[in-house]
Structure 1
């Protein structure tokens, strides 16, 4: 074989190899490391306010007695240190939870044990007890007549709770 043929052969191979180069590839990997949830021990809670009298809810800002309720979580996995509860429900124009029963001029007020009001969209965080692997949200609720002039009827509200873990 003559050297001129070898030169042409090499030139052809180099040209072909340049066109056979692989394209660049970007591999993207996504994911999350999250805390495993606790077991929700208090799946549903009903608070009975009892019979309230209209004469005690006539004045603006008048309210019923507080009624306690606790939301409990158990079996929190090792490594879960905090639980955050976010409260949601139908709010009325006063910012409190709307009474969806038939009584007029009544709102529902939810507070934590420190007296902080937990209106629609509010959150509260508690520490998980490492020894018992549990968490507790002690709360209190009452009927309230922000503007006064409560009228007779039923009282009902639904407050949803969403938990997130850290």
Structure 2
């Protein structure tokens, strides 16, 4: 039934559960997995950099320093997540499930849906942060966005 399963991953505790669910479905359906992590500016710390208050005289020097810091953090995060994705891809391959992986930048919900469409995924598997009420209203919900905009079925793995 499912031949191409997109698996949205991060470094949270639920990601291992998401991966295990994807691996199980991949085996049952002889499917190919695409592991995805979406690196965001917030994750790298750009939001903190942008919120700093500086005077006009300090602006140029501070911006150069902040951009260098941002690029260094971005590269460290990129390497961290590529290593994590490679590890999961190897584990899946060792279990006999063909697996690819990709690290993308941007808004997670949009990137997940875009990749699902372009890769022609049959299913998206992802976790849920568990936000509700005001937290979900203020921060938004990636899983909610994906459920409403996905070009294919979506399986949400709960934390408990």
TM-score bracket relative to the smaller structure: under 0.3
**TM-score, structure 1 as length reference:** 0.26
In proportion to residue count, which structure has more helix?
2
Larger Rg: 1
TM superposition score normalised by structure 2: 0.27
Structure with the higher fraction of residues in strand conformation = 1
